[in-house]
Amino acid sequence: TPAITKTDVVIIGAGPAGLFAAFECSMLKMSCLLVDAQAHIGGQCSALYPEKPIFDIPAHPSISGEELVNALEKQIEPFSIPRLLGHKVEALTESHKTFYLTTHKNHVIETKAVIIAAGSGAFGPNRPPLKDIETFEQTGSVRYFIRNRKDFTGKHLVIAGGGDSALDWALTLKDEAASIALIHRRERFRAAPESLAQLERAVEEGKITKVVPYQLSALTGKNGQLETVEIVDLDGNKKQLAADYLLAFFGLSADLGPIAKWGLECTATHIPVTPSSCETTHPGIYAIGDVATYPGKIKLILQGFSEAAMAAHAIYPRVFPNTALHFEYSTSKGNPAKNTINA
């Protein structure tokens, strides 16, 4: 039997819009559950640009993607909101004004309202189609994101990909790693001219070996610990490269996927909503952040925050049908961090 979680509001997507929606729901005393396909919160800010400064968050002249997500996480900390990470929501059914959502790991969520804060969909790295790659992913021998460059000190690396990410990481790790083989299926890399010049210098210094045009063809190792990466050229000639890690940068794919089939009159990437409530064409289902669209929509984080507040207020009467919602400022409610919210 599948695991079941019951909640007042399910929030699909723990990007900035979803995280702030969790805050708004909690301030209105509605229970909520944050679900994300990724293993970590923060959506695009954490996955795509943790170190880049953002300049248009109100009252923050400059804040990095990661700092913003940390601050949003701190803001909801007092509410101990449950999270279901690494779960992609796939199916949605409705019965007697209750929604049932099912994730790809067969977890069922029973809820009174749904907030879709799915950005441009569940995105993930494009993975090379290699046999048993999952085993090597589980041990971290194969990676698509790098959080701590110190993991690679003194290690033999194979870095695959022909764009800015592959090149930037090869250059960043060149003094850290014992060796770096940079694999690309074409002769030329598509990257910023300055990076290309730096690559040539690193190749001359013997810090990076360029292995082109080659593709990945197989991985070998024991218990998920990588030992060799096999590569093949266009004529079928194979080479074995000794490696502790394979770092693959083949871009990200985004996929609104299953949500696009829920009958919300959406396009492949966007869901139309009523701007005053963020309700979709289906009562009880709301959409906020990048995924939501209406005339005049601006796809900015600050817009997602405001939509989160509107959706939470619009949902309140569904969760508490017999209680009138008296609008209150947060200043009158007390500090959630000190648990002084009025009971």
CB of 279 to ligand FAD, least distance (A): 17
Site for ligand FAD in 276-295 (CB under 6 A): 289-290
> Which span sits near ligand FAD by CB under 6 A: 15-23, 210-218, 225-233, 235-243?
15-23
Applying CB under 6 A, does 17 fall inside the site for ligand FAD? Answer: yes
Q: Are 228 and 221 in contact (CB under 8 A)?
A: yes
CA distance 214 to 240: 11
Structural tokens at position 251:
């871009």
**Shorter beta-carbon distance to ligand FAD: residue 13 or 161:** 13
**Shorter beta-carbon distance to ligand FAD: residue 245 or 262:** 262
Q: Which string of x and - marks every residue 296-335 that binds ligand FAD (by CB under 6 A)?
A: ---xxx--x-------------------------------
- Binding-site size for ligand FAD (CB under 6 A) equals 35
The residue behind tokens 């619009």 is 314
CB of 266 to ligand FAD, least distance (A): 12
**Shorter beta-carbon distance to ligand FAD: residue 163 or 224:** 163
Site for ligand FAD in 19-78 (CB under 6 A): 35-38, 43-45, 48-49, 54, 56
Applying CB under 6 A, does 119 fall inside the site for ligand FAD? Answer: yes
Quote the Cα angle for 272-275-276, to 5°. 145
Quote the Cα angle for 92-93-99, to 5°. 90
Write the DSSP string, 3-14.
-EEEEEEEEE--
Q: For the chain, how big is the Rg over CA atoms in Å?
A: 23
CB of 10 to ligand FAD, least distance (A): 10
**Which of 8, 9, 15, 72 is the binder for ligand FAD (CB under 6 A)?**
15
Applying CB under 6 A, does 161 fall inside the site for ligand FAD? Answer: no
Please enumerate in sequence order all residues whose Cβ is within 8 A of that of 289, keeping only pairs 6 or more positions apart, or say none.
13, 15, 16, 17, 18, 117, 118, 119, 303, 304, 307, 308
Which string of b and e fits 308-339 if b means at least 16 CB within 10 Å? bbbbbbbbbeebeeeeeeeeeeeeeeeebeee
Site for ligand FAD in 173-232 (CB under 6 A): none
Give the Cβ contact number of residue 149 at 10 Å.
12
Structural tokens at position 290:
């990048």
Applying CB under 6 A, does 117 fall inside the site for ligand FAD? Answer: yes
CA distance 226 to 228: 6
CB of 116 to ligand FAD, least distance (A): 8
**Shorter beta-carbon distance to ligand FAD: residue 200 or 265:** 265
Using omega within 30 degrees of 0 as the cis cutoff, is the peptide bond preceding 213 cis?
yes
| Binding residues vs ligand FAD (CB under 6 A) | 12-18, 35-38, 43-45, 48-49, 54, 56, 88-89, 117-123, 258-259, 289-290, 299-301, 304
